[in-house]
Amino acid sequence: MPRQLCTFYLNDLYLGVDVTRVQEVIRYQEMTRVPLAAPEIRGLINLRGQIVTAIELRARMGLPPRPEDRQPMNVVIRTNWGNVSLLVDEIGDVVEVSEEMFESLPETIAAGDRELFKGLYKLNNQLLLVLDAERAIGITEGREARS
């Protein structure tokens, strides 16, 4: 059965999350900083009256900071903790993939990074990594809840 993924770019990575988890994709929104929050929590955004935590995926994944002249885009996803915005570099398309194309992560991906991905798809000379949104956010929120 085909699966649809909402795709986006982060540094030189091509990532995707299940389209059913995505509430919306929006341009950069002004954020309110959260004192003493984990470094990957960039701030809070007001999304039509709903307060949404914005997670900087670059920091979460140990990537270099986004260039100062580029604003992030927001991929607002539904989680067990409510809606959360993933800050990404650029939005891609919705792509349809078949389960036959799905592959496990290669052993060359470091153990710390492996937890953030469910697997990958090989598409036209490009790897599409499937982000495990719950883990990418849950670990951050778990750390935040203990502080």
The two tokens of residue 70 are 């580029």
Whole-number Å distance between alpha carbons of 73 and 6 = 13
Q: Whose CA is closest to 84, among 120, 60, 112? A: 60
**Residue recorded with tokens 């290669």:** 106
Q: What is the CATH number of the domain that holds 108?
A: 2.40.50.180
The structural domain count of the chain equals: 1
- Measure the CA–CA gap between 35 and 71, rounded to whole angstroms: 21
Summarised one tens digit per residue, pLDDT across range 78-123 is 987 789 999 999 999 999 999 888 999 888 776 667 788 999 999 8
Half-sphere exposure of 39 (CA within 13 A, CB side): 8
Q: Which residues pair with 13 in a beta bridge?
A: 10
Domain encompassing residue 134:
3-146
Global pTM reads 0.86
Q: Residue 41 corresponds to which tokens in the numbers above?
A: 């929590």
Mean pLDDT, the chain, as a whole number? Answer: 87
